[in-house]
Structure formats: structure tokens, C-alpha cells
Chain A
Amino acid sequence: MSRVKWVALSLAILVVLLLLIAPGALAHVDPVATGDAHLQGPSGSHLFGTDLLGRDVFSRTVYGARPVLIASFLGVLLATAAGVAIGVLGGVAPRRLNAVVMRMVDVFLALPVLLIALILIATAGSGVRSIVLAIGIAFTPGFARVVESSVRRLRTAEYVEAARVFGSTTLRTSWRHLLPNLLTEVVVLGSSAIGWGVLTATTLSFLGLGVRLPAPDWGSDLAAGATNLADAWWLSTFPGLAIMATILLANFSGDHLMRVLDPRAGIRLGRSFRTLATHLSRHGGDTAYESA
């Protein structure tokens, strides 16, 4: 990947982190503070304009990132963990057990993501926590399916067999060979799922199932601005653009993360990531040679 793209990507990720941790650094106006300037278009003092109650849209957009990002990150994390657990179980299980586990996964796969989410929120109440749970449960079967087939494929890889031949125990083989290779695939899968997570989270909050007003949130702000769309396009458009940008970023990163983690890529930065990844999975590593 070219230098320019690398720099752009890093900057974008930095912005995302800021939005998550310290939105105050980017926006200096209180997002819930009402004012006198109602429904004003974008101007010098209000970069993205103001809404019905005079609140600064730019600030709301900046602060509105948090619930969305938290919900999607945590939700995908949850789904990844559960999906990996189930997928690994299914992948190493004998045929009968595998069939049972995967059928159960299929059942959940049959239910659309949003339906599961809606039902869950109806029972557990709205809010970020519910959205996290909803995404976690809804995305798990997809993850489980992919992980299961990966595990089954990796288990029969020739280098795994080679390890058996010189007497490596199952535990050791799993740790040294299966897990690192599985990790790469899972990381790539997870990062591309974040895009979907953002979409789902914002859809749910659009429907009013996320944080309650007046707290800022992209989805709910977008919904609130829908009625005034013709006169005050900025109310919905900026949150919408923010959502789009985030999803694009997530997909982009997912695509390129793969190349970084794959030893066949060989970019310099990739090397250090690689050693990091192998160290993380090696846990007290056992190298015959110290890395130069």
C-alpha cells in the first residue's frame, strides 16, 4: 500500500480513536446545550448548522460518534468471541456433534439480524447496552459458520500433519499452528464486520431504540432531522455522511489488514506487526534463533 494511503489511513484511525475517547478535543461546544439560533445553515460559528433547538450540529455529530462506535466495536467483539468459541468447538468436534452444533447455528442464521435485535431490545429495553447485546447475538452465527469451516480446513493442513509426525502434541500443534493462522482470519473477519456493526447500530438507533434524546447519536439525530429534510438538509445529512465515512473506513481497513498480517506481504511495517502477532500467540515463545 502506498505511503500516502498509509498516512491517510493512520490519520483516519487516529480521528476515530479521538472520537471514541476524547470527543471534546474536536468539538468545543456542548452538544446538548440549546441556543437561540434555530435551524441555521452551516456557517462560520456553527460548522454544520444548528437544529430545531439551537444545538450545534457539528458538536452533536462529533459526540454522536461515541454510542455508535462503542455499540459496534463491543458488539462485534462479543460476536467474535462467541463465534470463535462455537466455531472452534464445531470444527474440532466429531462429525455427529459438529452436525448438531452447526444445525443450531443454522437456526439462528435463519432469523434476520434486525428481528433478533428488535426482539431483544423490546425485552431488555433500549440503550447502548442492548444494542451491543443485539449485535453480539445476531452476528455470532455468521462468525461461527466461517470459523468452523476455517478450523476444519486448517486442521487438515499439511503443516499440521507434519507437526504430528515429529511428535507434537495436539495442544502444542493447536497453539503453534492452528491459532496463529486462525487469528489472522478472525481479525480480518472482525474488522470487516465492524462496518456491518455500524450499519446495524445506526439502524437501531434510527428506529429510536438507542440512546434517548437529547443525547447525541448519529442514528437518532438522522431520524429527528428527517421531517425537516426539505428545509434543513444539514440536520440529517452530516450524521449520515459520518456514518458513511465510518463504514468506508472500516471496510478499507479490513481489506488492508489482511496484507499486513500475512507474511507473504513483506512490507516493513508488516514485519513488526507480524512479530507482535506471533509473540502474542506464542506466549513465552520458543525460538531456536533470537530474532535479529
Chain B
Amino acid sequence: MNFPKNFKYTKDHEWIELQGQIAKVGVSAYAIEQLGDIVHIELPKSGTTFKAGESFGTIESTKTVSDLYMPVAGKISEVNQAALQKPELLQEDPYQQGWLVKIALEKDTSIAGLFGSDDYEKYLRESGS
């Protein structure tokens, strides 16, 4: 399974890709495989603010609904309409076309608490995944 090196990851299997003060947020290939077919996602509107760790939407497979948690604090600057229309993009391409939201980071936000790709893979191994 592929985990891009330049991304950061959470224990809840979200990823972020930092581009200056904007971060793209998505769900890791591991989580997608666990969920199976993604059939519906719900995302907030642009302009909504979130604290780190706050639920910002849901991802739904044929059998389960899971909350999505914001890896970092900030304000939603863009929502991936293509993913809302076509949730299977998350399965086909979880790191590029399957992103969920872009978030403008709150000032002085630290991403130090997030996993790098190696640590995330180690976390998956240790949690018996």
C-alpha cells in the first residue's frame, strides 16, 4: 500500500498535504481499503472553521458510516465537488483526485503531532493492521 512521503497522517487515517498555509485533506489508502466501496460522503461548506480533531464530515461505505476528523485547525477554503459527486474517486485515487477539502491553516498551527509516512506505517503495523 502506498503512503506518499511528503504527506502527514493522523491516527484516524486522514492525510494532509501542506502547500504553504493551505492544507489539502483526504483519507489514507489503508482506511479506504478497510471501508470498502465508498458510496457517500458529506462535507462542510467553504468558510466553516474547525478545531484540530473536530469531526468535519462523514464517509459512508456500503455497510458503515465513519466520521472524518480534521487533522489541523483552520477554515475550509475549498470542497472537492468532484468527490462529492463521485465518491468512488476516493478508492480510485485517494491522494490526488480523491482529496476532500482544502483548509486555510489557523495562525501558528503546528503539525508536529502528526505522523510522517514511516511513522504512520509503523503505527498501522503496531495496531495490528
Question: Is chain B found bound to chain A in the same assembly?
Answer: no
